[in-house]
């Protein structure tokens, strides 16, 4: 089966992280986790790099990420996210973490350092309480409601009929 990555990207089947404002804080919303559609595998491991780049271009010094109660979240994405949290040394809070994602996070001891939350409002309240002033930074010039920029693969994928194996084709 031939899948054109550009067509999948235009149809909105790729994972996106969309920054939104909530009670004066920035929260990244996860949309279209690739695990929701196993016939599409994007570059999920690059999203933490995109978060880092987005933070560098802003005064925001925390990460609030809403996994939106996705039952399955790409393991590559979660693993890279954990590594980013270790490197940044800033508050790194996750919301809407379901069992499978929590198991991955627990295996890296992420949840020993950072709590997870049921609602974004709970995470913002925790951040304001534990790290006063952290959310009181200028958000001028930042785009909200638009997916953060991530380089996309420029080739297609060939998938086996059962979707189990994929081969990149130039």
Q: Domain containing 59 — which CATH number?
A: 3.30.750.24
Do 63 and 55 contact (CB within 8 A), yes or no?
yes
Could you read off the pLDDT of 27-51 as tens digits, one per residue? 988 876 665 445 555 567 777 888 8
In a domain, 2, yes or no: no
Note whether residue 9 is domain-resident.
Answer: no
Distances (CA, A) of 147 to 23, 30, 96: 20, 9, 19
Instruction: Tell me whether residue 166 is in a domain.
Output: no
Q: Is residue 33 part of a domain?
A: yes
Instruction: Quick: pLDDT tens for 54-69.
Output: 888 889 999 999 987 7
Q: How do residues 78-124 score in pLDDT, each as one tens digit?
A: 888 899 999 988 999 999 999 888 999 999 999 999 999 999 999 99
Please count the structural domains in the chain. Answer: 1
| Structural domain that includes position 22 | 14-152
Calpha distance 42→147 (Å, rounded):
15
pTM: 0.73
Query: What is the structure's pLDDT at 159?
Result: 43
């Amino acid at each position: 089966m031939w899948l054109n990555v550009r067509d999948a990207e235009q149809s909105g089947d790729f994972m996106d992280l969309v920054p939104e404002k909530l009670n004066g804080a920035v929260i990244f919303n996860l949309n279209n986790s690739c695990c929701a559609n196993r016939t599409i595998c994007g570059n999920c491991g690059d999203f933490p790099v995109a978060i880092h780049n987005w933070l560098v271009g802003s005064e925001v010094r925390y990460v609030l990420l809403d996994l939106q109660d996705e039952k399955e979240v790409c393991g590559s994405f979660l693993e890279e996210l954990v590594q980013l949290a270790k490197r940044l040394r800033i508050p790194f809070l996750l919301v809407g973490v379901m069992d499978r994602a929590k198991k991955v996070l627990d295996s890296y001891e992420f949840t020993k350092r950072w709590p997870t939350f049921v609602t974004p409002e709970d995470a913002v309240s925790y951040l304001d309480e534990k790290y006063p002033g952290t959310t009181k930074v200028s958000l001028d010039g930042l785009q909200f409601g638009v997916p953060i920029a991530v380089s996309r693969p420029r080739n297609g994928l060939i998938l086996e009929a059962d979707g189990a194996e994929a081969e990149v084709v130039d």
